[in-house]
């Protein structure tokens, strides 16, 4: 299991390193899923992990969050929150009970205040007494995010939270998440296979391939970001750059595989 230690603040480019992973390795039996990954996320940063299916994005997130056994070192400051694509809310609790679940240590009055503030933020005040099954997919995900935010965590891990939503709902949720992030300034690690989503939301994108982080790409766009940014030439350029990194990594793998499978006398 990776050691999850209290954060030792280190300054880099005037930014506080908030999550630091060194030599992070995850094995499933004899199979290595993540190998010797090094990863830093700065305070208040929105970082996305992208990669092809099976590249280990979710495993990386689960290892960073300490949910699965891993080796190496992970520095995380205190409390974390998590939002999954499915099972993100408890179906046996109402909307307000879900949000209040992480607040049980607080006095009732304070708990009620936080819940009503978050209900307002997720635009579900009139749905407080409903069960998740009575909500739409987007509404249920907003409850999941509100529940993760309720105990005021230092980091939020989000694993493809919008993957099952239709395009319009997803875009609406992206804009909403950016508003919430702008308001709360939480450090977010966001896993997605949707490159446009990653670019639109993130400060930085880490490209995973072949068990490792192959590249990180800084997103040059200022905030707040508007929807029409997605149709700009600059956005497309960043998208192509990331695709190149992903494709390059995949091509390199293909070349290596084909070289390995060629007869020895045909090899270079």
- Give whichever of 91 and 224 is closer to another protein, judged by the CB atom: 91
Q: Binding to another protein by residue 81, rule CB under 8 A?
A: yes
Span from 22-30, 131-139, 176-184, 219-227 in contact with another protein (CB under 8 A): 131-139
- Mode of pairing for the β-strands spanning 3-5 and 80-84: unpaired
Q: Is there binding between residue 87 and another protein (CB under 8 A)?
A: yes
What is the x/- site pattern for another protein, positions 201-220, by CB under 8 A?
--------------------
CA distance 200 to 198: 6
To another protein, the closest distance from the beta carbon of 42 in angstroms equals: 21
Triad 208, 211, 215: Cα angle to 5°:
30
Residue in 4, 101, 164, 172 binding another protein, rule: CB under 8 A: 101
The stretch near another protein (CB under 8 A) out of 60-68, 110-118, 160-168, 187-195 is 60-68
DSSP state, 107? -
| Cβ atoms of 142 and 122 closer than 8 Å | yes
CB closer to another protein out of 145 and 249: 145
User: In terms of CB distance, is 1 or 38 closer to another protein?
Assistant: 1
Tokens matching residue 133 = 């099954």
Q: Which of 55, 88, 174, 202 binds another protein (CB under 8 A)?
A: 88
Q: How far apart are CA 44 and CA 186, in angstroms?
A: 5
CA distances from 18 to 29, 40, 51, 170, 223 (A): 30, 7, 23, 28, 21
| Apex 182 CA angle, 144 and 57, nearest 5 | 55
184 binds another protein (CB under 8 A): no
Considering the complex, state which of residue 41 and residue 246 has its C-beta at the smaller distance from another protein: 41
Q: Does the footprint of another protein cover residue 86 (CB under 8 A)?
A: yes
What is the 8-class DSSP label of residue 139? H
Plot region of 192 (φ>0 → left; ψ -120 to 50 → alpha; else → beta) = beta
Residue among 257, 166, 242 at smallest CA distance from 207: 242
Span from 2-10, 74-82, 164-172, 195-203 in contact with another protein (CB under 8 A): 74-82
State the minimum distance, in angstroms, from the CB of residue 159 to another protein. 9
Question: For binding to another protein (CB under 8 A), which residues are involved?
Answer: 62, 65, 67, 79-82, 84, 86-88, 90-93, 101-102, 104, 131, 133-134, 147-148, 150-151, 153
């Amino acid at each position: 299991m990776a050691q999850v230690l209290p954060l030792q603040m280190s300054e880099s480019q005037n930014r506080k390193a908030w999550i630091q992973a060194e030599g992070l390795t995850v094995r499933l039996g004899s199979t290595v899923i993540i190998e010797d990954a090094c990863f830093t996320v700065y305070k208040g940063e929105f970082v996305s992990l992208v990669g092809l299916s099976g590249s280990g994005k979710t495993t990386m997130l689960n290892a960073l969050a300490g949910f699965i056994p891993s080796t190496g070192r992970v520095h995380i400051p205190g409390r974390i929150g998590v939002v999954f694509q499915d099972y993100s809310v408890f179906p046996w609790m109402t909307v307000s009970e879900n949000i209040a679940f992480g607040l049980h240590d607080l006095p009732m009055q304070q708990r009620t205040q936080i819940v009503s503030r978050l209900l307002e933020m997720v635009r579900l005040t009139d749905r407080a007494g409903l069960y998740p099954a009575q909500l739409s997919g987007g509404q249920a995900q907003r409850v999941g995010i509100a529940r993760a935010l309720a105990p005021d965590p230092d980091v939020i891990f989000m694993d493809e939270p919008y993957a099952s939503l239709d395009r319009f709902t997803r875009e609406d949720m992206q804009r909403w998440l950016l508003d919430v992030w702008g308001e709360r300034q939480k450090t977010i690690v966001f896993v997605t296979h949707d490159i446009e989503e990653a670019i639109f939301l993130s400060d930085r994108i880490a490209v995973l391939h072949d068990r490792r982080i192959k590249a990180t790409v800084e997103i040059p766009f200022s905030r707040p970001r508007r929807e029409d940014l997605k149709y700009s030439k600059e956005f497309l350029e960043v998208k192509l750059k990331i695709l190149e990194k992903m494709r390059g990594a995949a091509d390199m793998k293909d070349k290596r595989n084909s070289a390995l499978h060629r007869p020895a006398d045909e090899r270079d």
